[in-house]
Chain A
Amino acid sequence: MAAKRNLYLTLVAITVVAILLWFAQENLNPYYQRILTLSAIYSMFAVTFNLIFGYTGQFSLGHAGFAAVGAYVTALLTMSPAQKVANFFLQPIVPFLRDVELPFLPALLIGGFVTVLVSLIVGVPALRLRGDYLAIATLGFSEIIRVLLVNLQPLTNGALGLKGIPSNTNLLYAWGMLGFCVFVCKRLVDSSYGRAMKSVRDDEVAAEALGVNLFKHKILAYIVSSFFAGIAGGLLANLISTIDPKVFYYTLAYQIVGITVMGGMGSLTGSIISASLYTIFLELLRPIESQINIGSLQIPGIPGMRMVIFSVLLLVVILFYRKGLMGDTEFTWDALFRFLRKPKGRNDQEGKVA
């Protein structure tokens, strides 16, 4: 049976990837490890944004805010009391937060749950709005979160940020969480609830006339999305070990939108491929921002040049793959076998007929 074969292949693939990750964690140099870990975190951002926009059609720009809440909660829960006291020298931290110290995994999950609760404050009213209003409301939400982070000194240490967050995030945690996130999102979009989410995206009036409770399904996508975005934020905090409100500037949301569009709306594999490419390319392009010497000619480094190149790359992708790298298709074993079995020309023709 093809279904059984695919299941075995998937299990084998997961095992192989897990072994590779474990091996990489032991042997790969920390710089490459960090790039791969960041890829997984950005993939989680892209996958969760895809769930809310690509599958449910709600243009929510709250991801920077989600990430911030998740990052701060996880960071505060994992830092040691001594570390926190050292950080909060302007104004002492609230006693409850000072004394609590949790292992990484529970801290991440609590970070996810708190993100959901905070996001619902804006989600419940905003998801009753349609189209652009939601984008504006959620973008505003992100900014409010950032301003709160700056001003709630006893909770967040304000603009000084948090330093010395334990570096708990490693390859296995990041890719493991990504795997969990993709598993949940994939199961969700392939279920009856996923069909309802897609119907909301395609035509709200018709969906409602067929008995789909619009608000319920929008909020469902929003909750799952913010939960995993919060966890991704927590992973990020425990990777970079120093966070401050500027990390979660609203441009982060735009980056996530760019990554997701480049990967393809409605393709989870597309989001992962695109996020990984994005992270790796940004690293590869790093030399561009430093000073370049060609003989006696000196070109000074321009900070931010990488983003210009990235924009051009994004434009190229949009020009040649109008629906993103993967469109709305996913990687499947069947598609791989079809691709391997047939010569390219015939494959193309069949694609057109189907």
Chain B
Amino acid sequence: MAVLLQLDHLVKKFGGIVAINDFSTILHQGELCALIGPNGSGKTTIFNVITGIYTPTSGQVHFNNEDISGIKPDQITGRGIARTFQNIRLFKGLDVLGNVMLGMHIHIASNVAEAIIRTPRYNLEEKVMHTSGMELLDALGLADFAHAEPTSLPYGKQRKLEIARALATKPQLLLLDEPAAGMSPSDAEELMDFITSVMQKFDLTIFLIEHQMRVVMGICPRIIVIDHGEIIAEGTPEEIQNNNRVIEAYLGVETHA
């Protein structure tokens, strides 16, 4: 298996606070890996560093053997990394289909003048965006809502739309930031099945953040646990469940007063 994403000794400091401390890991093509940890342990910060929202204080991010640390978020998306957000960030000024078509804007070949004149090339591109957008919505079970406002969708569907929108950028690596946040256990389970099916359908590598261990136990063969920005455990769900440091991080250490 080829190495897709390689994080080398990542450090991210905000003033005196060390959000990520010496974080290294490798993701192979076709892998489904979960990143878990207690509140404030630095999970989202790692995603923000990978996607270019933050530049790392030190260390490198390699994607497809290319150093992408420090380049801008839209360029990173162009290289094939897409993400969703913990707090849903849909564009409320665009309808559901528009949100997905926006994800395809990055691949547009026509320039602005062509778009204003509506040259045959632009019209063709717009048509292709429209049909593949509908196909994508159809594949994710959102086709009926194509012209609805995104905020009118039920919560679970909004989550799926965020995933659909990220898929529209044609990524190789998909980063999901707490996709099951705020969901009931049965809904979360359904979403996880959905994620694995999407992963197979679109031939993806997925790195996902989850707060609750239970949600990812069933589907992720590999789990990384972090606390205070450092890796405290890494392995299969069974190994993680029985790891003392993980239990400490989640439940605290017993102290005798």
A residues near B82, Cβ cutoff 8 Å: 209-210
Q: How many whole Å from B253's CB to the nearest CB in chain A?
A: 37
Instruction: Report the interface size class on chain A.
Output: 20 to 34
Q: Which of A205, A210, A328 contacts B166 (CB 8 A)?
A: A210
Query: Is A212 a contact partner of B102 (Cβ separation < 8 A)?
Result: yes
Query: Is A206 a contact partner of B91 (Cβ separation < 8 A)?
Result: yes
Q: Which of A168-176, A188-196, A239-247, A283-291 contacts B (4 or more CB under 8 A)?
A: A188-196
A193 and B115 contact, Cβ closer than 8 Å, known pairs A205-B89, A210-B103, A211-B169: yes
* A184 proximal to B (CB < 8 A): yes
* B63 proximal to A (CB < 8 A): no
> Which residues from 36 to 67 on chain B have a C-beta closer than 8 Å to any C-beta of chain A?
51, 53
B residues near A209, Cβ cutoff 8 Å: 51, 53, 73-74, 77, 82-83, 85
Query: Is B83 a contact partner of A202 (Cβ separation < 8 A)?
Result: no
Query: Is A187 a contact partner of B116 (Cβ separation < 8 A)?
Result: yes
Report A263-294 CB contacts with B as 1/0, cut-off 8 Å.
00010000000000000000000000000000
A residues near B51, Cβ cutoff 8 Å: 209
Query: Is A212 a contact partner of B89 (Cβ separation < 8 A)?
Result: no
CA distance A42 to B74 in the complex (A): 37
B residues near A187, Cβ cutoff 8 Å: 115-118
A195 and B116 contact, Cβ closer than 8 Å, known pairs A205-B53, A205-B89, A210-B166: no
* A214 proximal to B (CB < 8 A): yes
B residues near A323, Cβ cutoff 8 Å: none
B residues near A202, Cβ cutoff 8 Å: 91-94
Q: How many whole Å from A112's CB to the nearest CB in chain B?
A: 15
Question: Is the contact region of chain B dominated by helix, strand, or loop, or is it mixed?
Answer: helix
Query: Is B94 a contact partner of A198 (Cβ separation < 8 A)?
Result: yes
Query: Is A199 a contact partner of B89 (Cβ separation < 8 A)?
Result: no
* A213 proximal to B (CB < 8 A): yes
B residues near A205, Cβ cutoff 8 Å: 53, 85, 89
In the complex, residue of chain B having the shortest beta-carbon distance to the beta carbon of A210? B103
Query: Is A188 a contact partner of B93 (Cβ separation < 8 A)?
Result: no
Instruction: Report the interface size class on chain B.
Output: 35 or more
A residues near B207, Cβ cutoff 8 Å: none
* A203 proximal to B (CB < 8 A): yes
B residues near A212, Cβ cutoff 8 Å: 74, 102, 105-106
* A34 proximal to B (CB < 8 A): no
> What is the interface of chain B, defined by CB distance below 8 A to chain A?
51, 53, 72-74, 77-78, 82-83, 85, 89-94, 98, 101-106, 108, 110, 112, 115-118, 122, 125-126, 129, 165-166, 168-169
What 14 new A-B contacts, CB under 8 Å, besides A191-B115, A193-B112, A196-B105?
A187-B118, A191-B126, A192-B115, A193-B115, A195-B105, A198-B93, A203-B91, A205-B85, A206-B85, A206-B89, A207-B91, A209-B77, A210-B103, A212-B105
Could you name 26 residue pairs across A and B whose Cβ atoms are closer than 8 Å? A187-B118, A191-B116, A192-B102, A192-B105, A192-B115, A192-B125, A193-B115, A195-B101, A198-B93, A198-B94, A202-B94, A205-B53, A205-B85, A206-B85, A207-B102, A209-B51, A209-B74, A209-B85, A210-B74, A210-B82, A210-B106, A210-B166, A211-B74, A211-B106, A212-B106, A213-B72
The 6 A-B pairs at the shortest CB distance, nearest first, are namely A211-B106, A211-B77, A206-B89, A191-B115, A202-B91, A208-B73
